[in-house]
Amino acid sequence: MSRLVMKFGGTSVADLERIRRVARIVAAEAARRPVAVVVSAMAGKTNELVAWTDGAGGAAAGLPMSDDEYDVVVASGEQVTAGLLAMVLRNMGVPARSWLGWQVPIYTDDAHGRARFDEIPPEKLVAAMDGGEVAVIAGFQGMTRDGRITTVGRGGSDTTAVAIAAAVGAGSCDIYTDVDGVYTTDPRIESKARRLARISYEEMLEMASLGAKVLSTRSVEMAMARNVPVRVLSSFAEPGESDGQGTIVCDEEEIVEKRIVSGVAFSRDEAKISLYGLPDHPGVSREIFGRLADANVNVDMIVQSHAHREGAANMEFTVGKRDAARAVEVVRAAKDIIGFDDVAVDEDVAKVSVIGVGMRSHAGVAKTMFGALADKGVNIQVISTSEIKISVLIDAAYTELAVRALHAAYGLDRL
């Protein structure tokens, strides 16, 4: 049987009892084929370690200054769980050993706190796995070419798992988490939401970046680039019963049962900024969005329209809630240079999106969406589209109503 990489996140290894449960799931697979397991730190551990580095005056990750000692501290959470899981497996009679990033080795660049994977020579791991020993790998960490420890960004263990799967040529990368797969929408909002047996990489990318927190965006990007089949599974399932369970994230061509729309996603982490009375001439957008980019503000949806007044335009765009105040500050500071009358911000908005690769070849997807929203009296403020996604910005109070209406309109209740 082909090699398997399994990954367990922080909640799945939160205490010894759960680590024992994980060990039973791993043992069931290891009886059938060569296995590597990637683990996160115990839930909450990494936050605690980050707080320690703050207290010690280290430069937090994400800041321009790169701090190699930050990585030494925060990488330690994964070392603990790797060792514990290997220990528990051995006590069950399953040959196992832990592997830290530098022991594999997992080479990364030297952007401490947010390093990118570079190269993973697979020989040592493959020899151990094929020799029947479970390789328990500390996720989230790597090392630079000159031997310093790195971490690959918060939530990075998913990406470690996919990178390892690509390196050892695994037949699947099984990501165990606290949900049992990818759903047509959030089951907490729509009880008729269904688990998808398969979803394409591209659809999953849209879902992931829209806040369906099942897989990290980077891990899906890497899986797509390296063509690694990923399976999302529940770590609360019974050991040895993973066959046919979960959701497989794979190439579009491998999905037999085609759908036009696969899912409805939403995000409440949105703020809408409106600029009124802009001059209508070339260079205005460059001025606005150049300044926002320099201030590290990520802009999502953008619409521009003519104002009533001759030669004037209005512009609306959305940013994440935590960037809203900064975005307003940035444009306000350049009010005279940009030349607008007024700026307003609205945080009571939500973005609802329908996603599906079938949109590429089917007409009428937008019509269905706008019809369903109109029937419920939901007003659309901003629209944006991509090849496989239509998003609308609406009043946040209507989020659940809109999600349910769209879920029904595309027949996702009856998959």
- Binding region for Mg ion (CB under 5 A): 9, 155
Asked whether position 46 contacts ligand ASP by CB under 6 A, the answer is yes
Residue 115 contacts residue 150 (beta carbons within 8 Å): yes
Residue number, 179 or 409, with CB nearest to Mg ion? 179
Asked whether position 142 contacts ligand ASP by CB under 6 A, the answer is no
**Among positions 99, 107, 140, 201, the unique one binding ligand ASP when judged by CB under 6 A:** 140
Asked whether position 8 contacts ligand ASP by CB under 6 A, the answer is no
Nearest to 177 by CA among 22, 30, 45: 22
What is the closest distance, in whole angstroms, from the C-beta atom of residue 391 to ligand ASP in the complex? 27
Q: Which entry of Mg ion, ligand ASP, none binds 77, CB below 5 to 8 A by partner kind?
A: ligand ASP
Stretch that binds ligand ASP, among 40-48, 52-60, 101-109, 348-356 (CB under 6 A): 40-48
Asked whether position 155 contacts ligand ASP by CB under 6 A, the answer is yes
Residue number, 157 or 399, with CB nearest to ligand ASP? 157
Write the binding mask 9 to 28 for ligand ASP: x where contact by CB under 6 A, - elsewhere: xx------------------
Measured distance CA(56)–CA(59) in Å, rounded: 9
Residue 266 contacts residue 281 (beta carbons within 8 Å): no
Residue number, 219 or 242, with CB nearest to ligand ASP? 219
| Torsion angles phi and psi, residue 324, rounded to 5 | -60, -50
Query: At CA 49, angle to CA 47 and CA 50, rounded to 5?
Result: 65
Nearest to 3 by CA among 28, 39, 24, 29: 29
Asked whether position 76 contacts ligand ASP by CB under 6 A, the answer is no
**Among positions 12, 40, 219, 318, the unique one binding ligand ASP when judged by CB under 6 A:** 40
Half-sphere exposure of 27 (CA within 13 A, CB side): 19
Q: With CB under 6 A as the rule, give the number of residues binding ligand ASP.
A: 12
Asked whether position 156 contacts ligand ASP by CB under 6 A, the answer is yes
Stretch that binds ligand ASP, among 154-162, 170-178, 258-266, 304-312 (CB under 6 A): 154-162
User: What end-to-end distance do the CA atoms of the chain give, in Å?
Assistant: 32
Long-range contacts of 28-31 (CB under 8 A, 24+ apart): 28/239, 28/240, 29/4, 29/240, 29/242, 30/94, 30/132, 30/134
Angle between helices 399-409 and 365-375 (to 10 degrees): 130
- Positions that interact with ligand ASP (CB under 6 A): 9-10, 40-41, 46, 77, 139-140, 154-157
